[in-house]
Amino acid sequence: MATKSSAKPTAPGPKPDIPPAAMTTSSLITGLHTVPARHNGHTPAPRPTMAERQARARALREQVPLISHAFWAESSDRPDPISLLEAQATVRQPHLIPIRHARMRVSPFAFFRGSDIMMADDLSHTPISGLTAQLCGDCHLSNFGLYASPERDLLFDINDFDETIPGPWEWDVKRLAASFHVAGRNNGFSEVACRDAVLTAVRSYRIHMAEYALMRDIDIWYARVTADDLRELFAKKRIQKSIQKMLGKARRRDHLQAFAKLTEMVNGQRIIANDPPFVMRVTEEQLGFQIDAIYNSYAQTLRGAQRNVFERYHVVDIALKVVGVGSVGTWCYIVLLIGRDADDPLLIQIKQAGDSVLQPYLPRCAFEHQGERVVWGQELMQANSDIFLGWITGPVSGREFYLRQLRDMKGAAEVEALTPSEMNVYADACGWALARAHARSGDEVQIAAYLGNSNTFDLAIAIFAEAYANQTERDYRTMLAAIKSGRIVAATEGVS
């Protein structure tokens, strides 16, 4: 549990005056290693000393006080959330947009998951520390979970990187914290329980960042949050049963389970099972190009050894698949491949990659190809990543995609089923995993020095999270009104 304080800070009033250097996003990337270095034949300048980095961070804390991060207030010129959703819909498959709205309509938490574009704009108007890291970009508790490393160990980490981009580290922390408050309310928890989960997540982030600040760079790179680490966290609360259930489910959710669930035998041939509109097989004629074109293009983005493994497989079938909440309507395919024989399947997901929702508020990303941006961000932030991560450009559409295995021992908490104690432990794990990801890509020494040793930042973010949970509920009611009025359509089967 987070450290208690006898003096509870009150929410700040007007937005604090932040020096231009701390608020200008064009200066955020300077001096940090969040963008791939382009070799120019010169030896890189030595990094500042630990003391110099700590001194700079403390100076930033004077300019942008920790308590200023509690700030949230809806401005009079804040964009209409429905208009933002409508703008996103213009570049998606129109017949699937009603499914997206239907999934967001389920609860304020479901709406929160699908409205990252709204929070991206909101975060751009909050105080900025001036320190950056590679961001998840859509950092909510359902985007954390278990997966198998190439060594077949179960790891706990961030598992969604569609919106990844270098930016202010605190934006990920604020979205994660708000997600716990919204999810807690959704589960019927008291405000105290919701606040406790937020405080635990932020405290975990702060404490682990301080630990990473004392580690060698290479040790940070090797650091992982393992299944055993999760067992230990849950054991402290004496709720081992829930973690054993989650670990067992993750181990069962492998590519063979996905293969059995998503395919069927027809005339002696294994094909992807149709389930319109959620899974729809497509032919090369419907695609408008030869499968070999994307197969070969994708293979060239894999490392040599991984490419050698992948090229042992051949394509059998391909289908469009509806995924997630926020991603509904984007182009997403699953490809069935077979290796040695019918008992050696491989399922690859091809997922559309557009600009990060945070891109309009940050310096232009270094990657021209958005699929490569996603792959780079995932490999930078995750402890171990899928060996089949790669990217392609659609031969006809010109759309950009990234590719990965569809499922590899993936598991996550059933958020709606969590008790307050379980959510508290899950918050601890998420804060830890996020700190590790940011320490790999940002300056862990400066972030730790900026946060300091007190719980001031924890309490500030708890205030922010509660205020933003209120904002999310207001926006959710706005969406329900838009559905009722007919402005937007919500339908579980899509619209032809």
Residue-wise pLDDT tens for the chain (496 aa)?
Answer: 333 333 333 433 333 333 333 343 434 444 344 444 444 456 667 888 999 999 999 999 999 999 999 999 998 899 999 999 999 999 899 999 999 999 999 999 999 999 999 999 999 999 999 999 999 999 999 999 888 776 777 889 999 999 999 999 999 999 999 999 999 999 999 999 999 999 999 999 999 999 999 999 999 999 999 888 888 887 877 676 666 666 666 555 556 677 778 888 888 888 898 988 899 998 877 776 678 888 888 999 998 889 999 999 999 999 999 888 888 988 999 999 999 888 888 999 999 999 999 999 999 988 999 999 999 999 999 988 888 999 999 877 889 999 998 765 566 678 888 899 999 999 999 999 999 999 999 999 999 999 999 999 999 999 999 999 999 999 999 999 999 999 999 998 755 4
How many Å separate Cα 357 from the centre of its chain?
A: 12
Largest separation between any pair of C-alpha atoms in the chain: 72
Name the pTM for this structure. Answer: 0.88
State the Cα–Cα distance between residues 147 and 122, nearest whole angstrom.
Answer: 31
pLDDT value, residue 409? 56
- Cβ of 460: how many Cβ atoms within 10 Å? 25
pLDDT value, residue 51? 95
How many Å separate Cα 458 from the centre of its chain?
A: 21
Are 392 and 302 a contacting pair, CB within 8 Å? no
Q: Which residues does 195 contact at the CB level (< 8 Å), separation at least 6?
A: 181, 462, 465, 466
Secondary structure of the chain in the HEC alphabet?
A: CCCCCCCCCCCCCCCCCCCHHHHCHHHCCCCCCCCCCCCCCCCCCCCCCHHHHHHHHHHHHHHCCHHHHHCCCCCCCCCCHHHHHHHHHCCCCHHHHHHHHHHHHCCHHHHHHHCHHHHHHHHCCCCCCCCEEEECCCCCHHHEEEEECCCCCEEEEECCCCCCEEEEHHHHHHHHHHHHHHHHHHCCCCHHHHHHHHHHHHHHHHHHHHHHHCCCHHHHHHCCCEHHHHHHHHHHCCCHHHHHHHHHHHHHCCHHHHHHHHEEEECCEEEECCECCCEEECCHHHHCCCHHHHHHHHHCCCCHHHHHHHCCCEEEEEEEECCCCCCCCCCEEEEEEECCCCCCEEEEEEEECCCCCCHHHCCCCCCCCHHHHHHHHHHHHCCCCCCCCEEEECCCCCCEEEEEECCCCCECCCHHHCCHHHHHHHHHHHHHHHHHHHHHHCCHHHHHHHHCCCCHHHHHHHHHHHHHHHHHHHHHHHHHHHHHHCCCCCCCCCCC
pLDDT value, residue 33? 42
State the Cα–Cα distance between residues 426 and 176, nearest whole angstrom.
Answer: 12
What letter represents residue 271's amino acid? I
Burial 52-67 (b: 16+ CB within 10 A, else e): ebbebbeebbebbbbb
pLDDT value, residue 249? 60
State the Cα–Cα distance between residues 207 and 428, nearest whole angstrom.
Answer: 10
- Burial label for 45, CB within 10 Å (0-12, 13-18, 19+), is exposed
